[in-house]
C-alpha cells in the first residue's frame, strides 16, 4: 500500500465522517467542511503532506445543492506521493464560504485569492482576500458555469492604459473556447482555430 493510501486510511479512522472520493490518479476523500482544517492539518503534521500544490473549486451548476466544492491537492516531499481532499462549501450560491488554510500553509494565500477571484468563494479568515487576476469591481466570476464564454463587456479601469484604449468597451477575458475547426478548413499546424463564439469580434469589425 502506498504512503498516500496509508494516510487516507488513517484519516478515515480518525475522522469517521470522511468518505472515499472517486479518483483516477491519487487517493482522494470527501471531508465535511467543519472538519476540513483538522484533516488538512493532520495530513501535514502526521503524514508528511507538507506541500500544498493548489486550491481550486468545482461549480456543479445552478440548481445543485451544494453547488460548490473546494479541492486541495497535497504532496509529500518525503514520500513523493499525492492526496486530494474535497469539501462542499457552505452558504448560498451567490456567497459560498470555506475556511482559509493560510495558517496551515502560507502558500494558500494566493491560491485562495485566485479561487475567490474566479468562483466567488469567500475564504473566512484569509488575511487579505481580494481579487488577484481581475480588478476590483469586475462584474462576475469567470469560472462559474453561467459566465459567458465570450466574457463580459466592461471598461478597463487601469490608470496606465492609454485614454483611447480605456475609452473602448472591451470584454474580459477575450473570446475563449470551445474551439472548433471542420476537417479541411484549417491547418492547425499553421493557424489557430476560431472560437465557437465569435459574436464579439464580428460586431466590432472595422468597415473596409
Q: Which domain holds residue 165?
A: 152-203
Q: Per residue in 18-77, pLDDT tens?
A: 999 999 999 999 999 999 999 999 999 999 999 999 999 999 998 888 999 999 999 999
Would the pLDDT of 170 be above 50? no
Is there a single domain that holds both residue 96 and residue 20? yes
> Domain of 24: which CATH number?
3.30.460.80
Is residue 42 within 8 A of residue 119, CB to CB? The reply is no
**CA atoms within 13 Å, Cβ hemisphere of 146:** 10
Q: Per residue in 73-118, pLDDT tens?
A: 999 999 999 999 999 999 998 899 999 999 999 999 999 999 999 9
Is there a single domain that holds both residue 98 and residue 176? no
Is there a single domain that holds both residue 64 and residue 17? yes
Question: What's the domain count of the chain?
Answer: 2
pTM comes to 0.75
Is there a single domain that holds both residue 57 and residue 95? yes
Is there a single domain that holds both residue 120 and residue 163? no
Indicate whether 135 belongs to any domain.
no
Is there a single domain that holds both residue 20 and residue 104? yes
Indicate whether 103 belongs to any domain.
yes
Indicate whether 145 belongs to any domain.
no
CA angle 193, 165, 192 (to 5 degrees): 10
Indicate whether 130 belongs to any domain.
no
Indicate whether 131 belongs to any domain.
no
d(CA 156, CA 98): 30
Mean pLDDT of the chain: 84
Would the pLDDT of 190 be above 70? no
Is there a single domain that holds both residue 15 and residue 110? yes
pLDDT number for residue 99 = 98
d(CA 131, CA 138): 9
Indicate whether 166 belongs to any domain.
yes
Is there a single domain that holds both residue 170 and residue 70? no
pLDDT number for residue 150 = 78
Is there a single domain that holds both residue 90 and residue 12? yes
Amino acid at each position: 500500500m502506498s504512503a498516500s493510501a496509508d494516510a487516507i486510511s488513517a484519516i478515515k479512522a480518525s475522522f469517521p465522517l470522511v468518505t472515499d472520493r472517486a479518483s483516477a490518479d491519487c487517493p482522494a476523500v470527501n471531508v465535511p467542511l467543519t472538519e476540513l482544517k483538522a484533516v488538512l492539518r493532520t495530513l501535514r503534521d502526521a503524514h508528511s503532506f507538507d506541500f500544498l500544490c493548489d486550491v481550486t473549486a468545482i461549480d456543479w451548476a445552478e440548481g445543485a445543492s451544494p453547488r460548490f466544492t473546494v479541492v486541495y491537492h497535497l504532496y509529500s516531499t518525503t514520500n513523493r506521493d499525492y492526496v486530494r481532499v474535497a469539501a462542499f462549501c457552505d452558504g448560498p450560491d451567490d456567497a459560498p464560504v470555506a475556511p482559509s488554510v493560510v495558517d496551515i500553509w502560507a502558500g494558500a494565500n494566493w491560491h485562495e485569492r485566485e479561487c475567490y477571484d474566479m468562483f466567488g468563494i469567500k475564504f473566512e479568515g484569509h488575511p487579505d482576500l481580494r481579487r488577484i487576476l481581475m480588478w476590483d469591481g469586475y462584474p462576475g466570476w469567470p469560472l462559474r458555469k453561467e459566465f459567458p464564454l465570450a466574457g463580459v463587456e466592461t471598461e478597463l479601469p487601469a490608470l496606465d492604459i492609454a485614454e483611447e484604449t480605456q475609452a473602448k468597451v472591451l470584454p474580459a477575458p477575450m473570446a475563449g473556447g470551445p474551439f472548433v475547426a471542420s476537417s479541411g478548413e484549417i491547418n492547425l499546424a499553421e493557424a489557430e482555430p476560431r472560437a465557437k463564439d465569435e459574436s464579439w469580434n464580428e460586431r466590432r469589425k472595422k468597415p473596409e
